[in-house]
Amino acid sequence: MSSFVELPPTEYSATAFTSFDPGATNFTTGNALALMWSSQLAYETGKPRTIDVVGDTWKFASVFPFSKQKVDIVASFDTTGILGERADAIILAFAGTDPAVWETLATDFNIRLTKDTDTHIGFQAALDAARPEIDRAIAMSQHTGKPLYIAGHSLGAALAALAASFAASSGSPPKAVYTFGMPRVGGEQFQTAYNANLGSVTYRLVHGLDVVARVPMSELGYRHVGCVLQCESGKKFDPAAMSPLVSDVPEFSLGLAHTLVSSIESLLSGHSLSLPGPGTFGPLFKYLPPPIRDHLQDRYYNALTP
């Protein structure tokens, strides 16, 4: 991972897990906030000190970063994440796309559906590389009796859904799956099988105009999974707005395409488009079109912060 997606330890919330409830049977904002921050920490695999400092602050007994890279003509990937243990839960979180790491972009754009699993071939290859870490998370949960939570942002959200599906097929489904800015992961066959096992405990959050949550388009045969919770750009997530189980929203619309084009025109005219953000490159985020800016990590954890 690179400075585009990393944060210094001082910019992490010390209270991210204050309202975390491992025994919750439904969606909670406190759990979503904790798991969104965990998904942010998954971007720090190149900064072990950050992981150690933040993990201690959040009272993790241990946090193991992992990174799996491959460059291949069929599927290239750079799968990164963290596996953490707290006194009350096991947490597996995946990092998303880093614009400075071309392998993650290659994964995103490898959009053919696999014939056997009916899933995005790029996402599936990236997830398969992390099977040992998923097996370890399952074993930790079984050995300790602690619930397993799986989370991710962006590409990492897609990997979280696939990891949850694998865990369920292994007889150890997670307690809940929290995803943030998740793209569509598979087709109708995958959607049906996934929702039958995990749909009611998969919470898919979409902030504002987030473009990644709208692709790959359903016209290509892709379908979303789980329950969706949306909020307007810059607003807070309201648990009461959680959707029914089966929902393929949001769609990529002509209006969103027009917003992207208009944003680029405004940028070329020298106008700021959005709010700045955290991290080394945060001041430049104001030049990002809203559908891209709404996708970034801080838009999600800010929309969950009381």
Per-residue pLDDT, 250: 94
Beta-bridge mates of residue 178: 151, 203
Angle between helices 297-304 and 29-41 (to 10 degrees): 150
Angle between helices 155-169 and 102-109 (to 10 degrees): 70
Q: Residue 120 and residue 97: Cα distance in Å, rounded?
A: 15
Q: Compute CA distances 297 → 3, 12, 244, whole Å.
A: 13, 12, 25
Spans of the chain, pLDDT less than 70 = 254, 257-258, 263-273
φ/ψ (deg, to 5) at 279: 85, 180
Q: Compute CA distances 294 → 227, 276, 277, 303, whole Å.
A: 20, 11, 11, 10
Domains of the chain (ranges; CATH) run 9-252+294-304 (3.40.50.1820)
Per-residue pLDDT, 263: 65
Give 30-45 pLDDT, tens digit per residue. 999 999 999 999 999 9
Per-residue pLDDT, 273: 64
pTM for this model (two decimals): 0.95
Per-residue pLDDT, 72: 85
Q: Residue 116 and residue 132: Cα distance in Å, rounded?
A: 21
Give 278-297 pLDDT, tens digit per residue. 999 999 898 898 999 999 99
